[in-house]
Amino acid sequence: MFAFFSRRLVQAVLVMLVISVIAFSIQDNLGDPLRELVGQSVSEAERQSLRNQMGLNDPFFVQYWRFFKKALLGDLGTSYFFKRPALDVILDKLPATLELVFGTTLIVILFSVPIGVFAAIYPKQWFLRLVMGMSIIGISIPVFLTAIMSIYIFSVELGWLPSFGRGETVELYGWTVGFLTRDGLMHLILPCTALSSIMLPLFIRLIRAEMMEVLESEYIRFAWAKGLTRRRIWFLHALKNTLLPVITVGGLQIGTLIAFTILTETVFQWPGMGFLFLEAVNRVDTPLIVAYLIVVGLIFVIANTIVDLIYGLVNPTVRLARSHPEGE
Amino acid sequence: MALLEVRNLDVTFASWGGNLVALRDVSFSLEPGERLGIVGESGAGKSVAAFAILNLISRPGYISGGEILFEGQDLTQLSPQEMRSIRGNRISMIFQDPMMTLNPVLTVGVQMTEVLHAHREISAEEARSRALQTLTRVHISSPEKRFDQYPHELSGGMRQRVVIATALLTESSLIIADEPTTALDVTIQAEIMDLLLELCELNNVGLILITHDLSVISQVSQHAIVMYAGRVVEAGPIWEIVNNAQHPYTQGLIGALPQQTTPGKRLNQIRGVMPSLSNIPEGCAFNPRCQLVMEVCRTSVPTYTNIGSTRVACHAAGSAQTGNPLSLEHNKT
Ligand SMILES: Nc1ncnc2c1ncn2[C@@H]1O[C@H](COP(=O)(O)OP(=O)(O)O)[C@@H](O)[C@H]1O
Ligand code: SF4
Ligand SMILES: [Mg+2]
């Protein structure tokens, strides 16, 4: 367990290093920070001296090393627009985005597991076949379309659900959370549903396919031959094996999920990191962009490490990878 | 009363291009504590026959005719609930590949005790001690340690011992073993087979032993049936079948045994292959491979003839032509 964990930790650090290099080199390619700072009216000579002063003419690695040392201390520069530390600006918006991601994850898990499992057990049942058919359509409709359509139907036409912002939030251990108030919850429904519309069909289909394969396996046949109850065979013997590959895919999809928060937050005017990021891109607020990439990278690495740990707990062959089968 | 009596069993696989008949008119019976061998090349229908007894044929297969009387009760007529109370409780199975039989994510202990919990009211401690006891009976060292291990931590032979122990946990009166040693290392095959036989004998458990190796059956069972393309082509006491085979297919299997071959010569394999279900030849299914084939063999399915205490499905059965034509033919080369 310890070996597994430390190996994962080394990997995580390496991934973060790569992300930081990428994030940093993006800085150079995103317009001229001076123009943002001083405007058009400054003479070329003045610009050059300012560049030298800011170290913008130093070699790449010198600049990166400077950036890296500061980043380790949590200093990712100052946002040109907000005139505040970029990391602080980002972290202010973190709870909103995490709430969106968790809500979506919850929806995906709560729906995909039972639907996928039952669709595998009863492949001929009409309702489940309908759901499977709809999931194909679901996969092919872009998120922004789902989002706009759901806003049109549930906010504009029916007036049931709010379509923008977080609604009423409360303070909880320094975090602003929305899911504790009724209004906050109502505001979560549409964005979370829209965001889960890409993941849900994917996971339903994945779980169904895996479960069907597992149900055909010899060990499931043996479980039937032992006279176990259907419940035990389906929900213990088969489900546990089905979830192994699903957990792995789940880890990989976290990246996609975070990427799609940018879009979802924009459509729903959700005051999260993704929305902020898009604004930062428009304003060429480079420190903010870099800070966003680093924070998102960190979330991704942490989430994947957790997923790997869960996988290790479910799959005995990972946990005990170092012990070998013993002879007769 | 016979322990098991299978009468005129038909099994069909429903498929798009029409129904495929996997078993046709299969009959055999077994007395309590008796050992019966089922022999035949791969694809003969041995496994389908075995799974049909427990009504566990893989989809889209189903029993399309016949009766399976177990202790006088027709298993084909039971409700799913009643069938469940037979499986693993009165009739146990041992599968071919112990690597695939045990669930990779559950411990040995869980997979053993769950059988007890499925069939009787029993406390966790009692189930555990029963399982440990049975593990000792199949000669597994340090059973307490094995109990908490996962299948991948055990060798193939040890896994098959666990499967055998699982079959012995309840008081099954019949064990169906489908090629129980085929997937194992050759060095331990005999050991596992001996263990299985010894335990069945000790507990007076009936055993149906499925194998494609006639020599194994000749050493362990009392009666045998030979299957080809979903039919029983010869059935009788093992001594008769090995020493006085009537059916050309059985003779071919005997001729192909390594001990029948002169050292240095090629094995006398029967030429040709087992047909697939979708193109079983008309008449006698064996006719394209048979040395004694006659005109009638291509058009009409042979009925059973009793010769001594064996039952044979061959148009040439009982006539002077039978002998050991295949091995004679091949020995010339
Ligand atoms: N699920 C299935 N669907 C279609 N055909 C099958 C299925 N299972 C077995 N068969 C066919 O039934 C025949 C007998 O198979 P089997 O009983 O496994 O042979 P064996 O004697 O080697 O155990 C084979 O031709 C096989 O292809
Ligand atoms: S019936 Fe004819 S083809 Fe079939 S085994 Fe007998 S002799 Fe050969
Ligand atoms: Mg088989």
Instruction: Work out whether strand B20-30 and strand B73-74 pair parallel, antiparallel, or are unpaired.
Output: unpaired
pTM of the model: 0.85
DSSP 8-state code for residue B281 = P
Q: What is the mean pLDDT of residues A26-38?
A: 65
Whether chain A has a CB inside 8 Å of the CB on B124: the answer is no
Beta-strand pair B4-13/B61-70: antiparallel
Q: Which H/E stretch holds residue B13?
A: strand B4-13
How many secondary structure helices (H) and strands (E) does chain A include? 14, 2
Q: Is the peptide bond before B143 cis (omega within 30 degrees of 0)?
A: no
What is the pLDDT averaged over residues A206-234? 95
Please answer yes or no on whether B85 and A227 come within 8 Å at the CB atom. Answer: yes
What is the longest distance spanned by two Cα atoms in chain A?
A: 87
Max mean pLDDT among A48-62, A185-199, B233-247, B265-279 falls in B233-247
For helices A86-121 and A286-314, angle between their N-to-C axes, nearest 10 degrees: 40
Better-predicted residue by pLDDT, A236 or A180: A236
What pLDDT band is residue A116 in, cutting at 50, 70 and 90? very high
Rounded to the nearest angstrom, the minimum Cα separation between B25 and chain A is: 24
Owner of token pair 């045998």: B224
CA-B59 nearest atom, ligand 1: 1
> Pocket residues for ligand 2 (CB within 6 Å)?
B 248, 284, 286-287, 290, 292-294, 297, 302, 314-316
Token pair, residue B202, equals 């000790």
Q: Are B254 and B324 in contact (CB under 8 A)?
A: yes
Summarised one tens digit per residue, pLDDT across range A39-77 is 667 777 777 887 777 777 777 788 888 888 888 888 888
Evaluate whether A78 touches A287 at the Cβ level (below 8 Å).
yes
Whether ipTM tops 0.85, in short, is yes
CATH of A95-271, one of 3.40.50.300, 1.10.3720.10, 3.30.470.20, 3.40.190.10: 1.10.3720.10
Closest ligand, as measured to the CA of B325: 2
Do B155 and A328 count as a contact with CB atoms less than 8 A apart?
Answer: yes
Sorted by where each begins, the domain ranges of chain A are: 2-70, 95-271
Ligand 1 pocket, residues with Cβ under 6 angstroms: B 13, 22, 40, 42-48, 58, 61, 276-277
Q: Which residue has the tokens 């000749």?
A: B218
- HEC string of B245-303 equals CCCHHHHHHHHCCHHHCCCCCCCCCCCCCCCCHHHCCCCCCCHHHCCCCCHHHHCCCCC
CA distance A305 to A298: 11
Interchain CB distance below 8 Å, A314 and B105: yes
What does the alpha-carbon distance between residue B171 and residue B92 come to, in Å, rounded to a whole number? 9
* Alpha-carbon span A86 to A276, nearest angstrom: 11
Q: Does pLDDT of B329 surpass 50?
A: no
Looking at residue A30, its pLDDT comes to 63
- Give the ligand 2 atom nearest the CA of B296: 2
